[in-house]
Structure 1
Amino acid sequence: MAKSIPHLYAVVLAGGSGTRFWPLSRELYPKQLLKVLSDRTLIQRTVERIKP
């Protein structure tokens, strides 16, 4: 019988300079905080996709 895993954690990597989103994405306003095609930021949409 397989053992159950009590906790599973997801890690969302959110880095990079976002040069393809320039001029929307800048050093002080990273691409993860952009609202693209939605009223939510890219990082919010990513977290929503991994929620159970």
Structure 2
Amino acid sequence: MKIVILAGGSGTRLFPLSRADYPKQFLKISDDTSYLQKTAGRFLGMVKARDIVV
């Protein structure tokens, strides 16, 4: 099984925190882990890291 994580956009929903140069998936809001890292981490118990595609 492959896990596909959709990550992209123009950075307008969380402006001014997220911008086109620093999109939401790279933000570290509550701790030292980005949204993208947290999302991938949730799937690591189900699949191997090589089966996660961003």
Q: TM-score, normalised by structure 2?
A: 0.73
Q: TM-score, normalised by structure 1?
A: 0.75
Confirm whether residue 29 of structure 1 aligns to residue 22 of structure 2: yes
CA RMSD of aligned residues (A): 1.0
Q: Would you tell me which structure has more strand in proportion to its own residues? A: 2
1:39 to 21, 32, 36: 32
Any stretches of 5+ residues in structure 1 without a counterpart? 1-7
- Deviating beyond 3 angstroms after TM superposition, the runs of 4 or more aligned structure 1 residues are none
Give, in whole Å, the separation in 2 of the partners of 1:24 and 1:32: 11
Percent identical residues: 51
Q: Report the structure number with the largest CA radius of gyration.
A: 1
Any stretches of 5+ residues in structure 2 without a counterpart? 46-54
